[in-house]
Chains A and B, each alone.
Chain A
Amino acid sequence: MNRNVFFFLACMMPCLVCLGNQALRVEARFEPSTISLTNITTYKVVVHGSQEPPVGSIPALPGLRFSPNPRTFRSASFINGVPSIRFELTFQVTPEREGTFDFPSWSMRVGKHTSTAPSARLNVLPPNQSDRIRQAAEKQQQQDLREAAFIELNCPRTFLYEGETTEAQISLFLWERLPVTRIEQIPTKTGVGISMTELGQPNEQRNLRLKNKTYTSYSWTVGLTGTMKGVQNFSLSSILRVRVKAQRNSPLQSPFFNDPFFGFGREQGLEVKTDNISMEVRPLPQKGRPENFNGAIGSFTFDTSVDKNRVSLGDPVRLTLKIKGKGNFSAMPAPELSLGPNFRSGPPAFHFDGASSTMYGGEQSFDYVITPLISGLLEIPTIEFSFFDPELETYETLHSSAHSVRVDPSDDWVKPEVLNTADNSGQTTRPTPSLFQTEQEPGQWVSRINIPDPLYSQLFWIINIIGFTLFVFLLFRKMRNKDPWLEKLKLKDKALQVRLKDCVKLTDRDGFYQSLKRMIRLRITMIFPKTNISALSTSELINLLHTQGFPPNVTDEISQLLHLCETKEYAGSDRSDESLDSLFSRARQIIRQIK
C-alpha cells in the first residue's frame, strides 16, 4: 500500500513542478460578444498559470455598466496530459446604449508579475421583437403587482393651516387573488411636518370592484394635523406577508402570479408604498387675529351653562363651556376665564364626546368650578371663544350669554387669601431664607431611590417558598394516607358495575338483581364505614340514609330497588315489568347519588 502511494507521488512530482513553473497568460473577452440592448453580458478575464487573484482597476467605458463585485473561479486540470491552473474573474455588464464598444487592454498584477489583459469588443444591437415582448411582460408584471396591493389616502383638504386637524381615510386595497396571510404592519407614515393619529381597528370591505378586479379593502380613519409650515412630503407604507413559490429560479419569473405551485411556497414580506404625497401647510394669517385666540382651528359652536342660579357664599357653582363642531380638539386648550374680582375659579375638567381616535368631530366640555367671593346678585360675565375657520379663512369670535347667580350671605365664610404666585412677581428675585435647620448628619446612604416591589422582596419569596413546600408536603402525605379498606371497596364497586353491564347484555335478571343489591349496600357501607351494613335490613338502611340527610325521593327509589332485588332473591319471582335496560339506567342514576 505504502509502496503504491510513493509510486503515485513520484509520478505526480514532475507535474506539480510544471504547475509552479507554468507561464502567465491572460485572456479577456465578452461572453457573448454580441447582444441586444435589453440583455446583459459578462466580461470574463482568465489568468492561465496562476491561482492568485489579479490586482488592478478596470477602465471605465461610457455606455457600459460593470457590476462592482465580480465572481471568481479557480481551477486546476489536465488538458491532453498537460497540467493547467487558472483563475477566472467574471463581471456582469449592462449596456446603456447601442453600438460597438472596444474595451481597451489594461494591466494587472498577478502575484509578483505584471500582465496585460487584451482588448475586447462588444456589439450591442437594437432590441429585437422578443426583447420587446419580454420588456412589456415585465412592465405588465410590475403594473399587476402595483394593482394587486396599493394604499390610498383620501383627504378632503388640499392644504392645511399650521395646527389644523382634518379627518382623512387611509385605505389598503388587496386583490382577492393575492395570497396575503396577514398584514404585518399597518400603514405607517414616513415624513415630518404632518402628524397623524394612531390607527385603530380597520373597517373591512369585501368584493369591491375596481379596475376590473375584485379587492378587499381595509380602511382607517385618521386625523392629520399640519405641524410645520411649508410644503410637506410624506408617504404611507405597509408590509404584507404573502405566500410565494418556494423555487427562486422559476422560469415563470413572477413570484405571485401564473405559478402552478402558487400558494404552497414560503412566506415573504411585500412592502406596499404610496408615491410621495405633497401637502402644503400654511401659516395662520396674522390679519384679524383676536387677542384671545389660543389655537382652535375648525368650525365650532359655543355655549355655556351654570348648574345653580342661587347659592350660599362659599358654595361652588359649576360653569360648563361646551364647544361643538369639527376641528383640532386635541390641541385645543381651555378658554381663559376673566370673571372679575367677584369670583374665583379653579382649573377646568375636560370631557370630550365624539370620535376619540381622531379627536376631530364632537363636543368638548370644560367644567369650571367657580366660587363667588361676595354675596349679592352677581353676574358671570360673557366668555369669548375665538377660532380660525379654515374653510372661510377668517377668525371668528363667539360670545356666551351672561348668567346671573344670587349669592346669599353665609356666616362661616372667610374670604381666602389670594396666593402670591411666582408669575406676577415681575420684579427681580432675592435669595430667600432657608426653610429649616440644615441636617448635620447624612443619614442612611442608598445608591438610588427605589419603589419597593414585592417581586424583588425576600420576605415575599420566603412566604411563597414556605407555603409551596407545606402544600407539597400535605399533598404528598394525603396521597400516602389513602385508606386501603376504602380502596378495596372502590375496586369491588367497579367490578360490580362491570358485572351489572354484563347482566344487562346477557339479560341475566337473577345476576342483575344480585349485583344491584350488593352494589347499593356497598355504596352505603362507604358512607357509613363504622356500621355493619350487612347486618341491617332494608328498612333500617333507609332510616340510616334518612338520618344522613338524603332526600326522600332518593331513599324511596333505593327502597323500591332493594325490595325488587329481595323479592327476586327470596320469593323467586320478578314482579317488575320493566326491561333490564331501563331498570339499569334508573339504578345507575340512583347509585350515582349515594355518595
Chain B
Amino acid sequence: MNQRIQRILIGILSFTLYPSLCAESQDRQFYDAVRAEASGDLQLAASLYEEILLQHQSANLHANLGNIYYGLSDLGRAILHLRKSLLLNPDNRECRSSLASALKKSGLQAMPDRTNPLFAENLQILWGSSFAVLFWFGLLSLLWIFPWNIRSSSFWIYAVAWKASLFFLAWGWVECHQQGTLLKREVIVLSSPPSPSNPPEKIPLRRFASEDSDPNTMLTTGTSLLIDMNNAGNPRIHQSPDGTIWYLVRSLDGFDKGWLIEKEFRKIIE
C-alpha cells in the first residue's frame, strides 16, 4: 500500500515538475547566450538565441537578438526581431527607440503609425468584448425595461442609441481585425548576413517571378512589405520549374509591387 502511494506521489511530482524543468532548460540557454554576448562572441550568442526560438519566444529574447544583429550590422534581422519584441511587449520604450535607430541607420523611414492607436490589432478583444456586453445588455434592457411597449418614444430612442453604439463598436472591431490581418501579411526583407568584405546587399523586387527578370526597384534590407493575397485569402505564389517559390509582395504604401524568393524575407508573425 505504502509503495503504491509512493509511486503515485512520484508520478504526480514528475508530471507537475516536468514543465518547470523544461522551462529551466531554455532559461539556462538564455543565460548562456547573455554570457556569450557579454564576452563579445556575438555569433555564438545569436546562434544560441536562434536555437531557443525554435521552441520558445519572449520579448526580451527578441530584443537581445535584435541588439546582437544590430551589432553585427545585419540591420534586416535586427529590425525583424525588434518588431517581434514590440509585438510581445508594446510598452517597451527602449525597444521602440532601438527600432527607430535601426530603421534610421538602414535608411528607412520610421515605422509608420498605420492607424489610430485605438484600433491597434491587440485591442481586438477589448472591442469584441465591449460589443458583446453592449449587445446583450441592450437586448436584455429592451426585454426588461420596455416590455413590448413599442408605442413609447423612449423605446425608440433607446433602440436607436443602442443600435448606433453597436455599429460603432462593430466598426472598431473590424478596424482592429484589419490591422491584425495586415500584420499577418507583413514581411521584412532580409539579405545574407554582411561581413567586413561583404557590405549589406540590396534585394531586387523583380517584375516577374524569374531570376533574370528586371527589378522594379531595389529594396533595402529591413524594408517592410505586404504579401499579396488572392481571392481565397492565400498568398499569391509562383513555383518555378526548379522548385523555387516566389511570393508577390507590395510595399506598405502599395506603390511598389514585385516578386521575391521565399528566403529573401521573413514574416513578422510566423
Contact = CB atoms under 8 A, between A and B. Distances in A.
B226 interface: no
B205 to A, nearest CB: 9
Contacts of A350: 254-255
A83 B130 CA distance: 87
Contact of A428 (B128, B132, B199): B199
The 7 tightest CB contacts between A and B, nearest first, are A467-B136, A454-B128, A421-B107, A439-B60, A435-B98, A443-B60, A451-B180
Interface in A433-459: 433-436, 438-455, 457, 459
Interface string A344-380: 0001111000000000000000000000000000000
A433 to B, nearest CB: 7
Contacts of B34: 438-440
Contact of A467 (B105, B121, B139): B139
- For chain B, the bracket of interface size reads 35 or more
Contact of B107 (A420, A446, A478): A420
B237 to A, nearest CB: 14
Contact of B129 (A422, A427, A457): A457
A381 interface: no
B140 A467 contact: yes
Nearest to A424: B107
Nearest to B68: A434
Interface stretch (B1-9, B10-18, B156-164, B209-217): B209-217
Nearest to B217: A333
A285 to B, nearest CB: 14
Contact of B200 (A227, A429, A434): A429
A453 B67 CA distance: 30
A441 B89 CA distance: 14
A135 B95 CA distance: 80
A352 to B, nearest CB: 11
B44 interface: no
28 contacts: A163-B208, A227-B210, A422-B105, A423-B107, A429-B200, A434-B67, A434-B68, A435-B98, A439-B63, A442-B61, A443-B59, A446-B57, A447-B55, A447-B56, A448-B57, A451-B180, A451-B183, A451-B269, A452-B125, A455-B128, A460-B129, A464-B136, A467-B132, A467-B133, A467-B136, A467-B137, A478-B143, A478-B147
Interface in A28-50: none
Interface in B110-148: 121-122, 124-125, 127-129, 132-133, 135-137, 139-140, 143-144, 147
A471 interface: yes
A431 B41 CA distance: 12
B70 A470 contact: no
Given A436-B98, A440-B34, A474-B143, A453 B61 contact: no
A429 B196 contact: yes
Interface in B59-115: 59-61, 63-64, 66-68, 70-73, 75, 84, 87-89, 94-95, 97-98, 101-102, 104-107
B221 to A, nearest CB: 8
A447 B22 CA distance: 13
A146 B98 CA distance: 67
A459 B75 contact: no
A381 to B, nearest CB: 22
Contacts of A227: 208, 210, 213
B35 to A, nearest CB: 10
Nearest to A470: B140
A443 B200 contact: no
Given A422-B107, A438-B64, A449 B87 contact: yes
A252 B264 CA distance: 61
Contacts of B180: 451, 453
A434 B124 contact: no
A184 to B, nearest CB: 17
Nearest to A464: B132
B253 interface: yes
A429 B58 contact: no
B37 interface: yes
B143 A431 contact: no
A334 B255 contact: yes
Given A195-B208, A457-B129, 16 more contacts: A192-B241, A227-B213, A295-B214, A333-B216, A333-B217, A423-B218, A427-B199, A429-B200, A439-B34, A449-B269, A451-B124, A453-B125, A457-B125, A467-B132, A467-B137, A471-B136
B64 A419 contact: no
A228 interface: yes
Given A423-B220, A442-B58, A478-B143, A449 B88 contact: yes
Q: Name, among A444, A466, A468, the residue most crowded by chain B CB atoms within 10 Å (CB to CB).
A: A444
- For chain A, the bracket of interface size reads 35 or more
Interface string B15-42: 0000000010011001000100110001
Contacts of A429: 73, 194, 196, 199-200
Contacts of B101: 435
B270 interface: yes
A418 to B, nearest CB: 11
Given A419-B104, A429-B196, A434 B71 contact: yes
B234 interface: no
- Interface residues of chain A: helix, strand, loop or mixed (majority): loop
Interface string B245-265: 000000001111000000000
A99 to B, nearest CB: 46
B38 to A, nearest CB: 7
A432 interface: yes
Contacts of A436: 63, 67, 94-95, 97-98
Interface in A463-521: 463-464, 466-468, 470-471, 474-475, 478
A593 to B, nearest CB: 12
Contacts of A426: 199
Contacts of B256: 333
Contacts of B105: 420, 422, 432
B61 A443 contact: yes
Contacts of A420: 105, 107
Given A454-B124, A474-B144, A423 B56 contact: no
Contacts of A457: 125, 128-129
Contact of A452 (B102, B124, B208, B217): B124
A594 interface: no
Contact of B38 (A419, A427, A438, A445): A438
Contacts of B57: 445-449
Given A463-B129, A475-B143, A452 B61 contact: no
A454 B143 contact: no
A575 interface: no
Contacts of B144: 474
Nearest to B177: A453
Nearest to B28: A442
B264 to A, nearest CB: 16
A193 B115 CA distance: 40
A451 B184 contact: yes
Interface in A292-341: 295, 331, 333-334
Contacts of B60: 439, 441-443
Given A428-B197, A449-B57, A454 B129 contact: yes
A348 to B, nearest CB: 7
Q: Name, among B66, B102, B184, B213, the residue most crowded by chain A CB atoms within 10 Å (CB to CB).
A: B213
A448 B135 CA distance: 32
Contacts of B106: 421-422
